[in-house]
Amino acid sequence: MSTSSVNRQSNAGALDKIRTVIAGGVSSGMRIDAIPQPLVVRRAKDCRVWDVEDNEIIDLNMGYGSHLFGYADTEVLAEVGEQFALGHLTGLPHELDAEAGALIAELVPGIEQVRFANSGTEAVTSALRLARVSTGRSLVVTFEGHYHGWSETVLRAGKAVGHLREGSPEQVRPGAPGMIPEALAHTAQLPWNDHRAARELFARAGQDIAAVVLEPVLVNANVIPPAPGFLALLRELTRDSGALLVFDEVITGFRVARGGAQERYGVEPDLTVLSKVLGGGFPVSAFGGRRAAMRLLAANQAHHAGVFAGNHAAIRAVVAQLGKIRRTPGVYAELEQLGAHAEEGVRALAAAEGRLVRVGRVGSLVSVALLREPVAAEAGLRELAAAIDFDGHRRWQIAAQKEGVYFHPNPMEPWFLSTAHTKDVLDKVLTALGRALAGAR
Ligand SMILES: Cc1ncc(COP(=O)(O)O)c(C=O)c1O
């Protein structure tokens, strides 16, 4: 097809064509509602995407948070390109494995050894299996609203079928159609930040608990940070009962601080799961811990595998990305400032439009949700979900996209800022969002 005939396509036409051969038009049920107004991308650079109509759009979603330095980062791409030419998949050990593992161990406080995998789901699943083998127990404790991928027991309906709406308890329970029903018998779910509920569960069932898994900052539902002392409480309860504490740092790793949430909040888990920023947009994940926690994998008494796990291109991406992070120590202060600028700006524009808004932020993770009614600053997930104006937010998203800014239409999804979202770019974003908000009444 010639470029000129490609250019005449519309987003809607291109999406229809995709839908004839891709079920639902995207290869993920999580992304199926992400474009109420069609947007078919042709290329991406820094913090911008260009669609098939050649519209330039500033992206606040950034591949769901993988691109700390923006799209098509030349340093990482150059290294990975070189690796493709050198052979990117042999299934044999490579010197890069030592380099990547050492970088992770240097940067993440709770890690001495890792295993690589391809996705967050795979790494969480493997970490939980390791926890079950290590403890000889089966119960896994999760928290409402936290997302750990789509494997049995940790998938929750709210993410799998439609989005968490109006705080319905049905939507936050684990489980989804087609899952093995018995799998859920091995999962308990607690409300986030509820000290008493955590204490009670451990008092009642502590001896059965293999692992507690959590997003140490609840990012997947409105960016709700851990309440003071909550991570330390989970550390104490798991240590006392012989369960493993598993931090799913798929988003927070190398994002909320160089060493992730465990560095930012000073609590070390037994196992950590990493992905997203880890590979700068290449499909790679890792899970790891201290050598003692990884010993059953080393002895091959706990199973984890994968043809593509640890392929040389992905590991080269890790080396390039983490090398860049290590060479750029000021990046987290910079991201903190950009996040604060976005937060202030969005609060000001909502006030100017007379709209209620809840802004949750940890560093460069900024959650913005229009509200129907006020909520307390420390509101929990259910109160927040009950107060969110889901329809109004969606109207705002559609209007914003027409103004050249993309954010996820689900108000529970955050903006993932990168170093490419400079103050100048954010000011443009805020102006466009203000116009969109005024127009979306
Ligand atoms: C915190 C967290 N854990 C796990 C996952 C699952 O990762 P993947 O979609 O790569 O399987 C995600 C995905 O967004 C996530 O945000």
Of the residues 64, 71, 276, 389, only one is catalytic, namely: 276
* 198-213 mean pLDDT: 97
Q: Report which of residues 166 and 412 the model is more confident about.
A: 412
Distance, CA of 115 to CA of 329 (rounded, Å): 26
How does residue 228 score in pLDDT terms, banded at 50, 70 and 90?
very high
The two three-digit tokens of residue 359, written as one number: 């802004």
How does residue 145 score in pLDDT terms, banded at 50, 70 and 90?
confident
Ordered DSSP codes for 180-219: -GGGGGGEEEE-TT-HHHHHHHHHHHGGGEEEEEE-SSB-
Burial of 410 (0-12, 13-18, 19+ CB in 10 A): buried
- The number of the ligand 1 atom at minimal distance from the alpha carbon of 122 is 11
* 38-47 mean pLDDT: 97
Considering the domain 74-327 in this protein, what is its CATH number?
Answer: 3.40.640.10
Is residue 309 within 8 Å of 118, Cβ to Cβ? yes
Distances (CA, A) of 127 to 89, 110, 201, 306: 24, 14, 22, 14
Is residue 216 within 8 Å of 262, Cβ to Cβ? yes
Of 2-6, 112-116, 263-267, 362-366, where does mean pLDDT reach its minimum? 2-6
- Specify the 3-state DSSP secondary structure of 134: helix
- Whether 276 is catalytic is yes
- The number of the ligand 1 atom at minimal distance from the alpha carbon of 275 is 10
Distance, CA of 388 to CA of 372 (rounded, Å): 6
How does residue 46 score in pLDDT terms, banded at 50, 70 and 90?
very high
In the chain, % of residues over pLDDT 70: 94
pLDDT digit string, tens, across residues 169-192: 445 566 777 888 788 888 898 999
- Name residues whose C-beta falls within 8 Å of residue 382's C-beta, 6 or more positions apart in sequence: 144, 167, 169, 172, 191
Distance, CA of 295 to CA of 302 (rounded, Å): 9
Of 23-27, 141-145, 173-177, 212-216, where does mean pLDDT reach its minimum? 173-177
Of 200-209, 373-382, 416-425, 427-436, where does mean pLDDT reach its minimum? 373-382
- The number of the ligand 1 atom at minimal distance from the alpha carbon of 146 is 1
Enumerate the β-bridge partners of residue 59.
406
Number of CB atoms found within 10 A of residue 317's CB:
25
pLDDT value of position 162 = 39
The best mutation among 147, 248, 410 to test binding of ligand 1, ranked by most ligand atoms within 8 Å of the C-beta, falls on: 147
pLDDT value of position 32 = 87
Of 36-50, 62-76, 158-172, 418-432, where does mean pLDDT reach its minimum? 158-172
Of the residues 46, 59, 248, 270, only one is catalytic, namely: 248
How does residue 156 score in pLDDT terms, banded at 50, 70 and 90?
low
pLDDT value of position 173 = 62
- The number of the ligand 1 atom at minimal distance from the alpha carbon of 276 is 10
For residue 287, report the distance from its CA to the centre of ligand 1, in Å.
13
For residue 148, report the distance from its CA to the centre of ligand 1, in Å.
5
Nearest protein CA to atom 8 of ligand 1, as residue: 120
3-65+330-439 adopts what CATH topology?
Answer: Aspartate Aminotransferase, domain 1 (3.90.1150)
For residue 120, report the distance from its CA to the centre of ligand 1, in Å.
5
Place of tokens 């049920």: 29
pLDDT value of position 58 = 98
* 412-440 mean pLDDT: 97
Distance, CA of 215 to CA of 192 (rounded, Å): 10
pLDDT surpasses 50 at 2:
no
- The number of the ligand 1 atom at minimal distance from the alpha carbon of 285 is 10
How does residue 166 score in pLDDT terms, banded at 50, 70 and 90?
very low
Nearest protein CA to atom 7 of ligand 1, as residue: 120
For residue 121, report the distance from its CA to the centre of ligand 1, in Å.
6
Handedness of CA 367, 373, 377, 383 (dihedral sign): negative
- HSE-CB of 290 using CA atoms within 13 angstroms: 8
Is residue 392 within 8 Å of 370, Cβ to Cβ? yes
Domain positions in the chain are: 3-65+330-439, 74-327
Distance, CA of 152 to CA of 119 (rounded, Å): 15
How does residue 1 score in pLDDT terms, banded at 50, 70 and 90?
very low
* 280-301 mean pLDDT: 98
Ranked by mean pLDDT, which of 152-161, 177-186, 229-238 comes out on top? 229-238
pLDDT surpasses 70 at 236:
yes
For residue 149, report the distance from its CA to the centre of ligand 1, in Å.
5
Residues of 57-67 as b/e, b for ≥16 C-beta within 10 angstroms? bbbbbbebbbb
Distance, CA of 68 to CA of 172 (rounded, Å): 29
pLDDT value of position 7 = 55
The best mutation among 121, 126, 152, 271 to test binding of ligand 1, ranked by most ligand atoms within 8 Å of the C-beta, falls on: 121
Task: Please give the mean pLDDT across all residues of the chain.
Answer: 93
For residue 394, report the distance from its CA to the centre of ligand 1, in Å.
23
pLDDT digit string, tens, across residues 7-29: 578 999 999 999 999 999 999 98
Which residues are near ligand 1 (CB < 6 Å)?
Answer: 64, 119-121, 124, 147-149, 215, 220, 248, 250-251, 275
The two three-digit tokens of residue 287, written as one number: 């899970």
Of the residues 147, 265, 332, 406, only one is catalytic, namely: 147
The best mutation among 64, 159, 218, 251 to test binding of ligand 1, ranked by most ligand atoms within 8 Å of the C-beta, falls on: 251
- Specify the 3-state DSSP secondary structure of 330: coil
Place of tokens 């409480």: 233
Query: What's the start-to-end Cα distance of the chain, in Å?
Result: 42
Q: Report the chain's C-alpha Rg in angstroms.
A: 21
pLDDT surpasses 70 at 202:
yes
Residues of 349-382 as b/e, b for ≥16 C-beta within 10 angstroms? bbeebebbbbbbbbbbbbbbbbbeeebeeebbbb
Place of tokens 């790793």: 253
Nearest protein CA to atom 4 of ligand 1, as residue: 148
Of 72-81, 381-390, 427-436, where does mean pLDDT reach its minimum? 381-390
Rounded to 5 degrees, φ, ψ at 67 are: -105, 85
> What pTM, to 2 d.p., does this model score?
0.95
Nearest protein CA to atom 13 of ligand 1, as residue: 149
> Amino acid letter at 303?
H
For residue 336, report the distance from its CA to the centre of ligand 1, in Å.
23
Rounded to 5 degrees, φ, ψ at 274 are: -125, 145
